[in-house]
């Protein structure tokens, strides 16, 4: 483990390296405890006229066994090597350097570099894992053409994969064999990959638009091939979609995906050889929920789309991470929207953004979409870089329109194919293709924080004008106290009494084009003329800008919009706002020992939505789901008491269920009738709605019995997991809950991915006893501290998904937090650091919890020998 050196990397310090590595030859002789790596690098001085600067290669924990220059042993005086650097003191202008290192995959618990997962050799090199394999200029602007030879035991590893196309393979005698791979596309080292092991395969083929035939392979644990069928289908759909929507074709003869069970993140886009966390590959109705299917589709698409946005055009440096990630998330969002329901997808995206990115942007870890400094790049694979990064691309499309956006993308591909680019290059392509000036807009990349837009409206019936007073402000964030004014595109509609958008004759006070108000100044007074009747104003339709919006509006307008807004997202938003406000008020009353006191209009509206057959089931399911406890806490902002929020939310569910008991029962029964299972969006929507109705109805008497029946009659994992959640969370001490948990364990005990759901559901069960539950489950034989999926399912669900349990008033949750994070860090700093973000919002807690949380953070901070990953997160969290 690399301990923290406190070194800070700054964007302004970027400078091209003195040397280039046009060709890289790697040879691996694989063995678990001593893998021999021989790298032969063709190296050339970038600037022929420059002085011979020393060549400094990156390493991390390496053990050098030999060094040759142009094939001759390198005299010891000519170089120096430590575990994390190789320096050649005065290199010639052009030469070949051969370095031999020995690494130990079986001891690699950090899961970066070459490691073993279930006996399979695999690699993870992004961001800086390649330097754990061999010495290299391990930075994304060094593009090299790789030839890779892999040698291994045939029995242990009949399958030998690397990037690019296969060129040769053969037997070596003594049970050994080898394969050679060649990738013609120059790539940065973070895209290198190797897999060797004994795996099953699902093979298929794809013919590209120009007639190139591609062999597709998805490699999984033997016997699990059937569970990879959906992933293969998603892959082929992704390939077609990228051709149709972005004009991008695949470029190699093969495309392989390997599923491994130990993986730090979701998946990795290595050229021609994507490596996946198996939870984003394996699915069938028995073992995966509809959410799992949707995630698989999205992650398969995401990694595939990286082939153009990330691989063919890569990043100049890690500050530009959003260049590939934000753009690729935008592309996978659009793909899912086209494959499923656009409106439902948009609502889901916004919920995710608010749940993950808003707290980041509004807390101590806030950073711009393109950061200017970092201590540990692993900690910048964030919701801001990914999700807000995607929103920024979406806004570019809103501002330019579909055609100019596509022209800009085409120009970007044309100009930068084969290069390592920057955000400036990306923006310039859109400016040049469209004639727009994106100077002010570029602040979305440079300035952290969620902008606030506040709006008041006034209608003048005599003058027939509607005036909106709009003001923007960006709150201060760490190290950015003064903020500049942003270009914020706010899509809107003026909804007339009949529910239809009314036309206006003119608008002044801001640029208003195609239903979008472009805010550029602090204040705008936008006046619409020809508006005879007072409309309800629908703002930020489709969530056109990632801002918080405060609209001074009559309550009846919100209710009206929740019934009539023509924009599905805004319609969902209106009801969500109604519920959020009611929940905040209720939690305050609960703290004063009063009744929560909800308005019957909420229950009435919920009933109307449940029955409204003109709305998709998935939409109704989302609309009927009250904001989560964390959402409510975020809206309250300070002095949070999680117990009061939880009580308010439970009370709302019960209130709505009581008022609609018959209606909900009817709809619930009706939705039970389905044909054979299909993971498609419409079928998933029906299950989602029925499960939301169950969530409501289970608050009523007989709730445990109903949930238990739901569990026992379930024919798929979506329904089974939904029922188990209701039982374990709402009726934990009933025999029904105990029986369902035991049943589940008995059926799926051998299936680690399914057991992750069992761990996660219990770890998220509300209430003070959750701390003990989590401690008990950590000793379960199915749990393992070494596997990131297990860690996330148990501790991730507890730290980030259990407001009342984790934030237990006596601080026991925080003690478990500190103990656990320090324990995990010893093996896997990257995963420990990510779990540690679970306390980033500690300052919004009420004072007693705040102090206890601070003590736990301080205890971690004062531990000696912390990794760069963890100390970076903890110090920023405490700062």
Of 318-337, binders to ligand TRP (CB under 6 A) are 325
CA distance 393 to 395: 5
Residue 269 or 361 with smaller CB distance to ligand TRP: 269
Among 221, 278, 303, 695, binds ligand TRP (CB under 6 A): 303
Phi, psi of 220 (to 5 degrees): -140, 170
Cβ proximity of 562 and 546 under 8 Å: no
Candidate segments 122-130, 247-255, 480-488, 717-725, binder of ligand TRP by CB under 6 A: 122-130
- Reduce the DSSP state of residue 870 to 3 states and report it: helix
| Nearest residue to 492 via CA among 555, 423, 573, 416 | 573
269 binds ligand TRP (CB under 6 A): yes
| Residue 853 touches which of ligand TRP, Zn ion, none (Cβ within 5-8 Å per kind) | none
Interface characters, 18-37, with Zn ion (x: CB under 5 A): --------------------
Q: In the beta sheet, which residues pair with residue 580?
A: none
Candidate segments 120-128, 280-288, 399-407, 762-770, binder of ligand TRP by CB under 6 A: 120-128
The site that binds ligand TRP (CB under 6 A) totals a number of residues, namely 14
Query: How far separated are the first and last CA of the chain, in Å rounded?
Result: 24
CB of 874 to ligand TRP, least distance (A): 19
238 binds ligand TRP (CB under 6 A): no
Residue 318 or 806 with smaller CB distance to ligand TRP: 318
Q: Fill in the DSSP letter of residue 54.
A: P
Residue 265 or 657 with smaller CB distance to ligand TRP: 265
CB of 111 to ligand TRP, least distance (A): 8
Of 307-336, binders to Zn ion (CB under 5 A) are 325, 328
Among 57, 148, 268, 688, binds ligand TRP (CB under 6 A): 268
Candidate segments 96-104, 264-272, 552-560, 791-799, binder of ligand TRP by CB under 6 A: 264-272
Cβ proximity of 424 and 466 under 8 Å: no
To the nearest 10°, the Cα dihedral for 285, 287, 293, 296?
A: -140
CA distance 145 to 747: 49
Residue 278 or 325 with smaller CB distance to Zn ion: 325
Cβ proximity of 399 and 489 under 8 Å: yes
195 binds ligand TRP (CB under 6 A): no
Query: How is residue 868 written in tokens?
Result: 């760069």
CB of 378 to ligand TRP, least distance (A): 6
Residue 68 or 381 with smaller CB distance to ligand TRP: 381
295 binds ligand TRP (CB under 6 A): no
Q: In the beta sheet, which residues pair with residue 425?
A: none
Residue 303 or 391 with smaller CB distance to ligand TRP: 303
Query: How is residue 189 written in tokens?
Result: 């080292």
CB of 50 to ligand TRP, least distance (A): 33
| Nearest residue to 824 via CA among 866, 856, 776, 764 | 866
Cα diameter, the chain: 95
**By Cβ distance, which residue is nearest to ligand TRP?**
265
- Residue 6 burial (C-beta neighbours within 10 Å; 0-12, 13-18, 19+): exposed
DSSP one-letter string for 823-838: HHHHH-HHHHHHHHGG
CB of 267 to ligand TRP, least distance (A): 6
264 binds ligand TRP (CB under 6 A): yes
| Residue 127 touches which of ligand TRP, Zn ion, none (Cβ within 5-8 Å per kind) | ligand TRP
Cβ proximity of 626 and 652 under 8 Å: yes
Of 272-291, binders to Zn ion (CB under 5 A) are none
| Residue 640 touches which of Zn ion, ligand TRP, none (Cβ within 5-8 Å per kind) | none
Q: How far is CA 869 from CA 315, 448, 497, 719, 857, in A?
A: 22, 21, 55, 38, 15
Residue 265 or 545 with smaller CB distance to ligand TRP: 265
124 binds ligand TRP (CB under 6 A): yes
CB of 55 to Zn ion, least distance (A): 31
Rounded to the nearest 5 percent, the helix, strand and coil shares of the chain are: 45, 25, 30
Among 108, 378, 390, 867, binds ligand TRP (CB under 6 A): 378
In the chain, count H helices and then E strands: 30, 33
CB of 300 to Zn ion, least distance (A): 12
Residue 101 or 163 with smaller CB distance to Zn ion: 163
CB of 275 to ligand TRP, least distance (A): 8
Candidate segments 24-32, 119-127, 194-202, 435-443, binder of ligand TRP by CB under 6 A: 119-127
Among 25, 126, 736, 756, binds ligand TRP (CB under 6 A): 126
CA distance 691 to 726: 9
CB of 114 to ligand TRP, least distance (A): 14
CB of 309 to ligand TRP, least distance (A): 10
CA distance 489 to 44: 47
* Beta pairing, strands 511-513 & 516-519: antiparallel
Interface characters, 379-418, with ligand TRP (x: CB under 6 A): --x-------------------------------------
CA 55 to mean position of chain CA atoms:
37
Among 228, 231, 265, 429, binds ligand TRP (CB under 6 A): 265
CA distance 869 to 877: 13
DSSP one-letter string for 441-462: TTHHHH--S--EEEEEEEEETT
CA distance 675 to 715: 11
Residue 325 or 557 with smaller CB distance to Zn ion: 325
Return the active site residues.
303
- R_g over Cα of the chain: 28
Query: How is residue 774 written in tokens?
Result: 């989590």
Residue 60 or 126 with smaller CB distance to ligand TRP: 126
- Residue 669 burial (C-beta neighbours within 10 Å; 0-12, 13-18, 19+): exposed
Candidate segments 94-102, 121-129, 427-435, 736-744, binder of ligand TRP by CB under 6 A: 121-129
CA 331 to mean position of chain CA atoms:
13
301 binds ligand TRP (CB under 6 A): no
CB of 129 to ligand TRP, least distance (A): 7
| Residue 526 touches which of Zn ion, ligand TRP, none (Cβ within 5-8 Å per kind) | none
Among 30, 110, 127, 648, binds ligand TRP (CB under 6 A): 127
309 binds ligand TRP (CB under 6 A): no
Which residues of this protein are in contact with ligand TRP, per CB under 6 A?
Answer: 124, 126-127, 264-265, 267-269, 302-303, 306, 325, 378, 381
Which residues of this protein are in contact with Zn ion, per CB under 5 A? 325, 328
């Amino acid at each position: 483990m690399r301990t923290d050196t406190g070194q800070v990397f700054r964007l302004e310090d970027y400078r091209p390296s003195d040397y280039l590595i046009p060709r890289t030859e790697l040879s691996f002789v694989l063995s678990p405890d001593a893998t021999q790596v021989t790298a032969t690098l063709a190296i050339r001085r970038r600037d022929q006229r420059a002085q011979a600067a020393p060549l400094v290669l990156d390493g991390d924990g390496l053990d050098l066994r030999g060094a040759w220059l142009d094939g001759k042993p390198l005299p010891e005086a000519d170089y120096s090597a430590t575990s994390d650097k190789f320096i050649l003191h005065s290199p010639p202008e052009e030469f070949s350097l051969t370095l031999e290192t020995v690494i130990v995959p079986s001891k690699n618990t950090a899961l970066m570099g070459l490691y073993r997962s279930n006996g399979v050799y695999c690699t993870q090199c992004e961001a800086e894992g390649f330097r754990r394999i061999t010495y290299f200029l391990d930075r994304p602007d060094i593009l090299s053409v790789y030839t890779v030879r892999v040698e291994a035991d045939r029995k242990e590893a009949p399958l030998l994969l690397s990037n690019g196309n296969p060129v040769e393979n053969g037997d070596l005698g003594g049970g050994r064999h080898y394969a050679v791979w060649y990738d013609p596309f120059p790539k940065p080292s973070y895209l290198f990959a190797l897999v060797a092991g004994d795996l099953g395969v699902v093979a298929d083929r794809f013919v590209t638009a120009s007639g190139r035939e591609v062999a597709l392979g998805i490699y999984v644990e033997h016997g699990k091939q059937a569970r990879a069928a959906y992933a293969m289908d998603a892959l082929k759909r992704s390939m077609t979609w990228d051709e149709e929507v972005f004009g991008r074709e695949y470029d190699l003869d093969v495309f392989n995906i390997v599923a491994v069970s130990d993986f730090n993140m979701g998946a990795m886009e290595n050229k021609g050889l994507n490596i996946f966390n198996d939870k984003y590959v394996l699915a069938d109705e028995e073992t995966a929920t509809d959410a799992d299917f949707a995630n698989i589709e999205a992650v398969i698409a995401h990694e595939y789309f990286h082939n153009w946005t990330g691989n063919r055009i890569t990043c100049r440096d890690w500050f530009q991470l959003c260049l590939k990630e934000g753009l690729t998330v935008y592309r996978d969002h659009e793909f899912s929207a086209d494959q499923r329901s656009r409106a439902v997808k948009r609502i889901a995206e916004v919920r995710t953004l608010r749940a993950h990115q808003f707290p980041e942007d509004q807390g101590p870890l806030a950073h711009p979409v393109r950061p200017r400094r970092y201590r540990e790049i692993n900690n910048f694979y964030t919701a801001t870089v990914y999700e807000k990064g995607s929103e920024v691309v979406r806004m570019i499309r809103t501002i330019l329109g579909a055609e100019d956006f596509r022209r800009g993308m085409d120009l970007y591909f044309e100009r930068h194919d084969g290069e390592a680019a920057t955000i400036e290059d990306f923006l310039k392509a859109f400016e040049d293709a469209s004639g727009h000036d994106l100077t002010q807009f570029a602040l979305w990349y440079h300035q952290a924080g969620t902008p606030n837009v506040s709006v008041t409206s006034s209608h003048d019936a005599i003058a027939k004008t509607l005036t909106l007073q709009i003001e923007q402000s960006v709150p201060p964030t760490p190290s950015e106290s003064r903020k500049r004014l942003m270009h914020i595109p706010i899509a809107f509609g003026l909804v007339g009494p009949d529910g239809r958008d009314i036309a206006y004759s003119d608008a002044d006070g801001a640029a208003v084009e195609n239903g979008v108000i472009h805010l550029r100044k602090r204040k705008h007074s936008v006046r619409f003329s020809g508006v005879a009747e007072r409309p309800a104003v629908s703002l930020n339709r489709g969530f056109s800008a990632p801002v918080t919006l405060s609209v001074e509006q009559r309550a009846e307008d919100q209710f009206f919009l929740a019934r009539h807004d023509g924009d599905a997202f805004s319609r969902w938003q209106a009801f969500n706002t109604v519920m959020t406000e009611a929940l905040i008020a209720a939690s305050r009353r609960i703290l004063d020992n009063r009744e929560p006191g909800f308005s019957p209009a909420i229950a009435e509206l919920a009933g109307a939505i449940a029955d409204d057959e003109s709305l998709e089931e998935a939409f109704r399911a989302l609309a009927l789901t009250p904001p989560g406890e964390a959402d409510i806490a975020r809206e309250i902002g300070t002095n949070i008491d999680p117990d009061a929020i939880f009580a308010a939310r439970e009370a709302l569910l019960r209130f709505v269920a009581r008022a609609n008991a018959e209606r909900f029962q009817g709809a619930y029964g009706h939705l039970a009738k389905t044909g054979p299972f299909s993971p498609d969006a419409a079928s998933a929507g029906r299950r989602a709605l029925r499960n939301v109705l169950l969530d409501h109805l289970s608050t009523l008497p007989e709730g445990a019995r109903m949930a238990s029946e739901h569990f026992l009659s379930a024919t798929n994992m979506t329904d089974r997991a939904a029922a188990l959640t209701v039982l374990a969370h709402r009726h934990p001490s009933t025999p029904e809950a105990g029986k369902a948990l035991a049943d589940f364990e008995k059926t799926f005990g051998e299936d680690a991915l399914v057991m992750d759901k069992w761990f996660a559901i219990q770890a998220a069960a509300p209430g003070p006893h959750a701390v003990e539950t989590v401690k008990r489950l950590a000793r379960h034989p199915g749990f393992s501290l070494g596997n990131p999926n297990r860690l996330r399912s148990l501790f991730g669900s507890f730290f980030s998904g259990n407001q009342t349990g984790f934030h237990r008033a006596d601080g026991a949750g925080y003690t478990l937090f500190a103990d656990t994070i320090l324990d995990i860090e010893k093996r896997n700093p990257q995963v420990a650091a990510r779990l540690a973000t679970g306390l980033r919002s500690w300052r919004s807690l009420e004072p007693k919890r705040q102090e206890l949380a601070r003590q736990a953070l301080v205890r971690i901070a004062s531990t000696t020998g912390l990794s760069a990953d963890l100390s970076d997160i903890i110090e920023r969290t405490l700062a």
